[in-house]
A and B are shown apart, each in its own frame.
Chain A
Amino acid sequence: MDSPPSLVCRELRLRGFRNYPELDVAFPPVGAAIIGPNGSGKTNLVEALYYLEIFRSFRGAADEQLCRFGDDVFHVRGRFEDPLSGRSLEVTAAYDKRRREKRVTVDGVVPDRLGGALGRVGMVVFSPSDVGLVSGSPSERRRFLDIVLSLNVPGYLAAVQRFRQTLKQRNALLREGAPAGVLEAWTIGLVEASAQIMAARARWVSDHAGLFAACYERVGHEAPARLEYRCSVPAAASPGTDVAEALTAELERVAQREREQGITLRGPHRDDLGLAREGPDGWLDLRDFGSGGQQRTAAVALRLVEAATVREARSTSPMILLDDIFAELDPGRSERLLELIEETPGQVILTAPKPSDLEVRRGALTRWRISSGKIVAAA
């Protein structure tokens, strides 16, 4: 089988990022295992790498927080390479908190818009906080959908940006009780952007529900699980329906209530993903009835589906960043997840608080020790 091209990180340079005053590391193409105690900077390193993918913190931290205490500016620079073709890519990001200014370059060129520079490398982060995708509020699942689809579906990000701006404007109108004729002009734009977003979400879920179930089953070794799109306009969730028409009808139906409450009541901002596992008497929502381990397994399955999405959409194997995830899974699940990761190409960067017996890339990962923001020596 031909392995798809994939970019791997060869060099990472940090200045003033979180607890790193200065860091210069050269990664081997297969990746590295970074071992260090709590608070040593493992997650910060993963955060810095993934910053070069979406130019935001994967933990949702504000850019100011990423500046090292006492510093006003941080710099992140990564050099990436495709080991097969030799193609290389350099991505840099810098943030100045006094000016609130972000500067990004791709191969030395400042992109016209940030949106055009997103997802140049292809990376997926697995982190203990992913459990929030399952146990947390719908907004966490929408954020997941928006990031995955923005990176992998052309036009999605632009539609989200149009949607958000239109939503703010339309809500302002609803609050001030504007006449129907004025409201309508905004509803049309809202529906147009919403329909694009909802159709992409519906398609992604229907294309990947099977894979999600398979990943959950493979890692969890238990009853099947289900991924479904809980669209705020139920009729729009099934592929093939005219989403714009369904949403328009639904907005007309709730028009009175929208005016009373002064907010837009239907749309992508009210969507959710449903995650459930099969119980003795039917489907059980994992958010309410999943054990900690089951919720983590479902979160891992979502990340595996995300990695598959990158492979399909961008024909490249993403870098896999595993931030201390095995501590939270039982040994069986950890091993089966590792097996799955072994089956797919792509650089693996793994962190853990202590060395473990888990063999990643058949033990080929270089082990580094990390301590208070310094990568000191092979462990």
Chain B
Amino acid sequence: MGVIDELTAEFARLPGVGRKTAARLTFFLLKRSPDEARRLARAIDAVADRVRHCSRCGNLTETDPCGLCEDPRRDRSVICVVEEAADVLAIERTGQYRGMYHVLAGRLSPLEGVGPEDLNIDSLLRRLVGSTGGKEVQELIIATNPSVEGEATALYLQKLVRPRGVRVTRLARGLPVGGDLEYADGVTIAEALSGRREL
């Protein structure tokens, strides 16, 4: 396989990119200056090199702990629990939330073999105990997607956390059912945040 085919095959592995689009991307790059293509290659290289998961919240970051975890202006009494790092971005874009995050890296789905042990739940429970042994965290906002799987994950977490005396809330149902938080618009997310309900 030649290098052109190789690149096309790599593009085709990206989500939402079919073979035709992959070929278009390849030829687009070939038509631009070699510098432009190298810039893209370097950016991908850097991401692969430097980005990892924050050991506290599971978010994607270049520094560990991540900027959000280190930011002294953020409200440490609230943690918003999301399925994926992309959801953190979606909520940050609204500019309406000043608390902390926790990224589960998935949701419960027995059919796909995903159980509690496959999610970042232990690290979440450790955060609730708090480094000083005190009760720093007072509220957990569970912002998993409004799908059947997201709801079950929320209920599971609620059962787990409730005995620890932490208030557990769920995003209001303004979000489209079955839709992903990642793709919801900012206003919808902001409304869902402000109208959150007790689980």
Contacts and interface: CB of A to CB of B under 8 A. Distances in A.
Interface of A: 158, 162, 165-166, 168-170, 172-173, 176, 178, 181-182, 184-186, 188-189
Interface stretch (B34-42, B52-60, B108-116, B130-138): B108-116
B180 to A, nearest CB: 14
Interface of B: 108-111, 115-116, 148-149, 151-153, 155-156, 159-160, 177
Given A181-B159, A182-B115, A188-B155, A162 B108 contact: no
B152 A168 contact: no
26 contacts: A158-B177, A162-B148, A165-B148, A166-B148, A168-B111, A169-B111, A169-B149, A169-B152, A170-B110, A172-B111, A173-B110, A176-B110, A178-B115, A181-B156, A181-B160, A182-B156, A184-B155, A184-B159, A185-B108, A185-B152, A185-B155, A186-B110, A188-B152, A189-B148, A189-B152, A189-B155
The 9 closest A-B pairs by CB, nearest first: A185-B156, A172-B110, A185-B155, A165-B148, A173-B110, A185-B152, A172-B111, A186-B152, A166-B148
Contacts of B109: 169
Given A181-B159, A189-B151, A189-B152, 11 more contacts: A169-B148, A172-B110, A172-B111, A178-B110, A181-B156, A181-B160, A184-B156, A185-B152, A185-B153, A188-B155, A189-B148
Nearest to B160: A181
Contacts of A182: 108, 115-116, 156
Nearest to A193: B148
A326 B177 CA distance: 45
Q: Is the interface of A mostly helix, strand, loop or mixed?
A: helix
Contacts of A169: 109-111, 148-149, 152
A50 B112 CA distance: 36
A170 B149 CA distance: 11
Among A158, A162, A169, A184, max chain B CB count under 10 A is at A169
A314 B148 CA distance: 29
Nearest to A112: B176
Contacts of A176: 110
